Amino acid sequence: EPEVTQTPSHQVTQMGQEVILRCVPISNHLYFYWYRQILGQKVEFLVSFYNNEISEKSEIFDDQFSVERPDGSNFTLKIRSTKLEDSAMYFCASSAFETQYFGPGTRLLVL
């Protein structure tokens, strides 16, 4: 059964460093999403991507964040200058319609 994959599973970085989180969505899906969950809080929406452009972004998704679909299969989330409060589990999801399929997440720890 097709699944969404994410790499790395864990990443530790220093504050101010750039990180790139990678996702391979399900191949025939058209909608792509990033969510995150800060420990002890709800899963929250970051950004959605459709037709090679951002379709919606949350208030969290400021200029430090960017997304890209560089090669037709990968979907990446870049954080340019990480802050302590960016520490969270980051989930990628993809969908053909309303049902979203999630990857296992990348746990990011910013020190």
- 92 vs 105: CA distance, rounded Å: 7
Q: Which of residues 79-98 bind other proteins (CB under 8 A)?
A: 91, 95, 97-98
- 24 vs 6: CA distance, rounded Å: 6
Binding-site member from 100, 106, 108, 110 for other proteins (CB under 8 A): 100
| Shortest Å distance, C-beta 56 to other proteins | 5
| Shortest Å distance, C-beta 97 to other proteins | 7
- 45 vs 48: CA distance, rounded Å: 8
Binding-site member from 14, 41, 52, 71 for other proteins (CB under 8 A): 41
How far apart, in Å, do the first and last CA atoms of the chain sit?
A: 37
Tell whether residue 61 is a contact of other proteins (CB under 8 A). Answer: no
